[in-house]
Each structure stands twice: as C-alpha cells, then as structure tokens.
Chains A and B, each alone.
Chain A
Amino acid sequence: MAEEFLNLEAITKTFGTNTVIKDLDLSFNSGEFVSLLGPSGCGKTTVLRMIAGFEKPTKGRIFADGREITHLKPSQRNVGMVFQSYALFPNLNVRDNIGFGLKVAGVPRAKARERVAEMLELIGLPDLGRRYAFELSGGQQQRVALARALAPSPRMLLLDEPLSALDAKIRVSLREQIRNIQRELGITTIFVTHDQEEALSISDRIVVMNAGHIEQVGAPFEVYNRPATPFVANFVGTLNRVEARVKNAAAQEVAIGEQSVVLKKLPATVRDGEPIVLALRPEALNLVNGADDGICLNARVEAVSFLGSVIRVGVAVGDTRLHVDLFNDRRSAPPQPGETLRVGFKDEDVISVTA
C-alpha cells in the first residue's frame, strides 16, 4: 500500500461571496499520478493553486509529508509547477530557464550545469540548450517548462492544463512523455485537465470535480465503467440516455418508445408508469445479427461517422437518438443511413437507471 503524501482537509475557498470549493477532503499517495478532472469553473485549478500556495484556503488545512503547509509561501513548499501557457522566461535561453531555480537556490555553478544537462537529456532536447523560447515549438517549450519545474528536485509536481494549448497530435505524444518521466522519477504528480480522454489515459487515479466538490475518486477504469453519480457518467465519456417508462414493475418490463424489453437491473422502488432513464455507453451497444441473448431494439440508422479505429453510428429508437460505437472491421462495410437494424445491449452494461 502506497504511503499517503499530501492531504487536503476540509478545504473551503471563497472569493468574495462566491464559494468555489466547499469542505473538500482529498489525499494523494506518494509517487502517484492523479488527475483533477472537471468542467471549466469546477474549482480544479483553485485546488491546484492552493496546493502550490498561490491561493490560501478560506478554511481547512493542507499537509505534505505529515507537515502542515497551509500557510507556507509557494517557494517554501518545494513543488514544481508547469503552466498552460508554458511561462518560459522569454529573456533567458533554454539552459538558463531550466537552471533558474537552481541559481535561486544557490546551487554551485558546476553542479547546476550538470543538473541542467541531465534535465535536457530527460526531456530529449540535449542540443537545444542555447535556444530561446520563441525558437522552440509549443511541445518543446512545454518540455523545457517541465524540465525547469523538475530541475530543483521538487517533492511534488503540479501540472495546470499543460497540454491545453497544444495541437491534438503533440498533446498525445507529450502526455505519454510526461507520464514516462513521472514514472521514471517516481514523483507525486497532480494534473489538472478538463479533457477526460487525457485524464483516463495517463492517471493512476482520477478526481472528478463539479461545482467545487468531488463527485468521484477512483482509477480510470472504475470512473469510466462505474460512475458514482449521473454527473460523472455524463462528463466522463459519451453517454446514451435512453428515455423509458416502466410498463410492468413486477415483470421488470420497460417500454422504450413503442417497444418493450425486460430489464433485470430495474430498481425495486419503481412503479408502473414511472418514467426512467437508462444510461449506456456507445460501446455497450452493438448491432445484432440473428439471435442474441441480450436486449434488442429495432432502430433506424441516421448517421455514420468514421473515426478511424471506431465507427460511430447514430441510430433512432423511436424518438430516442443513440450512438453506437463499432470497431472498424475492414472486412464488413458499415451500415448506411436509412437502414433499419437491431441494436442490442446487455443488462449489466446499463450504467445507471434514474428516474
């Protein structure tokens, strides 16, 4: 079991009359990569800034390695931080940017030079030490920013949407590089993002936030497949919401448009005639050929989007629009708009049933 490294205890943050974080409790294990995921304005950056020391909690305490750091200045917390806008010092070259923290700390020049070279190797830019920020691509600049944050050997790394300003392809390669470096150094890392794919792909754990509170904390697999709240189900991944009505609660029969299906997962509290919503991931739906032991609905194909490895088929079941994700199989042609077919799913793939 990993050792607990950072603790946020009953943190509340208020700006004027606006409470952006309310009674938040959160802990991070040593060497863990945790993503704070949520929509804009959910308070994830505020949490990161409180950990960094740029904001003071209105209430609550922060502990790092057993020591309270709530009132310490950012420079006293021994954390490294990478910003969305890179924030490289334009007047300094790459070498001097990376060595800035070492110089401030009074590290002897020879030792600092050695450490800077080591960092340049780590980020894979050993020959670009003399360049200035404007001579580097966005991805290179962010790698330099990462090296600058890591050079003074901080005990924690904070990443504030470091990939948001980059193009999609660079984003994917850089996030993998960040994760590899983090694994190599074993440094506790907190990564703020609003991009669920990013969070799912690189995190040990994800903290899903909404309106200043935590909706769910868990491993990516758990958050995606077993969302704790409707918000998490909707925010993480694509979700189909199937509007239905309980036809016969005793027989667990549900009406979806004109069609009826039997749903074993139906809560015992529902009554006949009650409207309910079934939540299903697009990949939980499949196109049925012939007999199937799951639940099947007749559907009409409305749109087909080719996404490379996945084909997203938009279907209509009565008035309900659904997305079905199919693996791209080069041996069979995708369905065509206007075609009628059967869409199936399994009882256990229904994520939640809400009234």
Chain B
Amino acid sequence: MRGNRFWSWVVFGLGAAYFLLPLLATLEFSLSIRRDGYTLDAYRNVFADPGFQQTFSYSLIIGLCTIIVGIVIIMPAAYFVRLRMPQIRPVVEFLTLMPLIIPPIILVFGYIRLYNSSSFLPLTGSVMGTNILLTLGYVALAMPYMYRAIDTGLRTIDVQTLTEAATILGASRLRILTRIIFPNVITAVLSGAFLTLAIVMGEFVLASLLNRPGFGPYMQNIGANRAYEPSALAIISFVFTWSAMVAIQLLARFAPKSSARKD
C-alpha cells in the first residue's frame, strides 16, 4: 500500500513538473528585465501600455457579449433538445463539435466571403457590423464548450418533470426556462461562460483577420517586438484563465442540491 502511494506521488510530481516548470521559467523570465535582480518592470510596462488596456477591455466586452448571445441561443436549444427531441441529441452534439474540427481560419474566411461589404448582409462594412460578426464567430467557436456545459447541467435535473410541474401550474415556456430551468443549471452555464471568456480573451485568428483590436492580436504583436513583456502577458493571461477556473469551482458550491430522498 505504502509503495503504491509513493509511486502515485512520483507520477503526480512528474506531471506537475511537466506543467509547472515552463510556467515557472516564463515567470522567472518575466521578472528578469533588469540584470541586477528580479523586478516587476515588465508587468508595469504592460499595464501602462494604453494598447493593453484598450485591447483587454475590448476583448472583455466582446467576451461578455459572446456569453450573453451564447446563452440566449444555446440554452433554449439544449433545453428543447432534451425535452422534445432527445433522439436527435447525438446529431446536435456532433454539430456543436464542428468548430473544433473546422479551423477558425476557414470559419473567418467563410464569414468574410458571406458578409463582406458587397454581400446581402454587409457586416464587415462597418465597425459595429464587424464587432457583431466577431461576437457571432466567437459564439460558434465557444459552442462546443457552452453546449456541453449547459447539457451537463440539464442532465443533473429532471427537465421533463420540472417542466410538466410548472406547465400544469400555468407557467409559460419562457417562464419555465428563465425561472425554473436556468436557475437550476446556472453553475453549468457559468462554467460555460468562463470557458468562453477564456477562449475569447486569447483568440487571435478571428480578431486579427476581421481587423479588430482584440487582446489576442495585441499579445502576438507584443511577442514579435518585445522580449520580457510577452512573458509577463503570458503570466497575466494564465492568471486570468485560472481565476476563471477557480470561480467555476467556487460557484459549483452554490448549485441547487439534489433532493431525491426516500425517508
């Protein structure tokens, strides 16, 4: 037994080292801008850069819009598939995986071809239109994560019976979705939301090819022109993503609890 535990710790240590050593190396490098010791200058430079603030805020806003649009589209879809058409769930699941199969570059060229300034819906003809297109593109990119998160949440509740219980009490579909179903899968929705935010914050291809000032292109630009600041940005980005993950874990504690008791 003791031997088993020792080897478990060895495997765990090797795994942790594999992930943490590059991170520690990046952190160490980001602090080594001066020869005389460690300093946070690289971080100061990054935070002082107006480009950082602008692109970070831009991506954050687009990320929030993506989450809202994603929830509005995916939540009812996942709910109705579970409620009315459970037999087509494998098909829907496959469709939601498409963004993982199709590279974003193909997606964005498709968008540009379909929605260019001389098309029937010239979204790329204006800044707002391009922002909308970028948001919708991100909704598509985040769909595998958002759909799965929501669907997993729906699996934990008895969608059919809760819907019937609310229906017979006179509730409309919209009320059932917003007052009964959504609050009971909110933790799952939020995990999807944080994953979406993490994707949007680091996304490069769509923002770059649609020529929008996203955080992804900014990081790439800094990486091409500076030495220490890209490492600082990588650490900041990492901290941001991990904060989102921790938030998911914390929120899971507030999930409505199962109540199946026989006593």
A→B interface (CB under 8 Å): 52-54, 73-75, 77, 79-81, 83, 85-91, 100-101, 104-105, 132-134, 136-139, 141, 145, 148-149, 152, 165-167, 170
Contact = CB atoms under 8 A, between A and B. Distances in A.
Interface stretch (B26-34, B133-141, B162-170, B198-206): B162-170
A81 B259 CA distance: 19
A86 B158 CA distance: 10
A90 B256 contact: yes
B183 to A, nearest CB: 4
26 contacts: A54-B164, A73-B167, A74-B164, A75-B167, A79-B168, A89-B162, A90-B157, A91-B183, A91-B184, A100-B171, A101-B169, A101-B170, A104-B169, A105-B170, A132-B257, A132-B259, A134-B257, A134-B259, A138-B262, A141-B259, A145-B165, A148-B169, A152-B169, A165-B260, A166-B263, A170-B263
B261 A89 contact: no
A90 B257 contact: yes
Nearest to A53: B168
Contact of B259 (A83, A133, A148, A170): A133
B155 interface: no
Given A54-B164, A74-B164, A100-B166, A85 B171 contact: no
B113 interface: no
A85 B257 contact: no
Given A81-B164, A141-B259, 10 more contacts: A81-B165, A89-B162, A91-B184, A104-B171, A133-B259, A137-B261, A138-B260, A152-B169, A165-B260, A167-B263
B169 A139 contact: no
A138 B262 CA distance: 5
B58 to A, nearest CB: 35
Counting chain B CB atoms within 10 Å of each CB, the highest count among A75, A152, A167 belongs to: A75
B180 interface: yes
B258 interface: yes
Given A85-B158, A90-B157, A165 B262 contact: yes
Contacts of B260: 85, 138, 165
Top 5 A-B pairs, shortest CB-CB distance:
A90-B256, A101-B169, A133-B259, A134-B257, A91-B183
B168 A81 contact: yes
Mostly, the B contact residues are loop
A133 B257 CA distance: 8
Contacts of B257: 90, 132, 134
B161 interface: yes
B259 A88 contact: yes
Interface in B172-214: 175, 180, 183-184
A155 B88 CA distance: 38
A259 to B, nearest CB: 47
Contacts of B259: 86, 88, 90, 132-134, 136, 141
Contacts of B184: 89-91
Contacts of B256: 90-91, 132, 134
Counting chain A CB atoms within 10 Å of each CB, the highest count among B157, B164, B257 belongs to: B164
A88 B258 CA distance: 10
B170 A104 contact: yes
B165 A83 contact: yes
Contacts of B169: 75, 100-101, 104, 148, 152
A75 B170 contact: yes
A149 B168 CA distance: 9
B164 to A, nearest CB: 6
B35 to A, nearest CB: 58
Counting chain A CB atoms within 10 Å of each CB, the highest count among B164, B169, B180, B262 belongs to: B169
Contacts of B165: 81, 83, 87, 89, 145, 148
Contacts of B158: 85, 87
Nearest to B182: A91
A18 to B, nearest CB: 16
B168 A75 contact: yes
A75 B171 contact: yes
Interface in B6-39: none
A75 B175 CA distance: 13
A50 to B, nearest CB: 13
Contact of A83 (B161, B183, B258, B263): B161
Given A100-B169, A104-B169, A134 B164 contact: no
Nearest to B158: A85
Contacts of A77: 168
A137 B263 contact: yes
Interface in B217-263: 256-263
A11 B157 CA distance: 33
A75 B163 CA distance: 12
Given A100-B171, A134-B257, A138-B263, A87 B157 contact: no
Contacts of B261: 136-138, 141
B263 A74 contact: no
Nearest to A90: B256
Nearest to A133: B259
